[in-house]
Amino acid sequence: MRLFRAGLLGSVAAGFMLWAWGPVPWGDAVYLAVLLVLLPVLALVQLLVIDEHDLERLPVYVASGISILVLGLLALWAGRSEPSWNAMGLGG
């Protein structure tokens, strides 16, 4: 649990630094901080949980699919700013 808290704190700090010291909008900074800091920490925490518990595969696969869907939707949300949807090939 300490690792998760440290990752969460590091993610908040990285997001704030990206937003405050760089030309990155706050939504993009938060998303980038989650991808670069919090997601790897969650992977490490998941390894610790797997060692302690015997989990069924189907719920884990469903949760993983939902996580990927959420990350994709957040990527679309972060890409709404300049250069916007056209740069992603989604606009006319």
- pLDDT score recorded for residue 40: 85
How many domains does the chain contain in total?
A: 1
Distance CA(46)–CA(76), nearest Å, equals: 26
Residue 25 in tokens = 């909008």
Position 56 scores a pLDDT of: 78
pLDDT tens per residue, range 20-79: 887 777 777 888 888 888 888 888 887 777 777 777 778 878 888 888 888 888 777 777
Nearest to 28 by CA among 40, 14, 39: 14
pLDDT > 70? residue 90: no
* Residue 26 structural domain: 2-87
Residue 31 lies in a domain: yes
92 located within any domain = no
Residue 21: inside a domain, yes or no?
A: yes
Q: Could you tell me the two tokens for 62?
A: 């469903």
Rounded to 10 deg, the angle between the 57-78 and 26-33 helix axes is: 150
- Is the pLDDT assigned to residue 88 strictly greater than 60? no
Check residue 10 and give its pLDDT. 84
Residue 28 in domain: yes
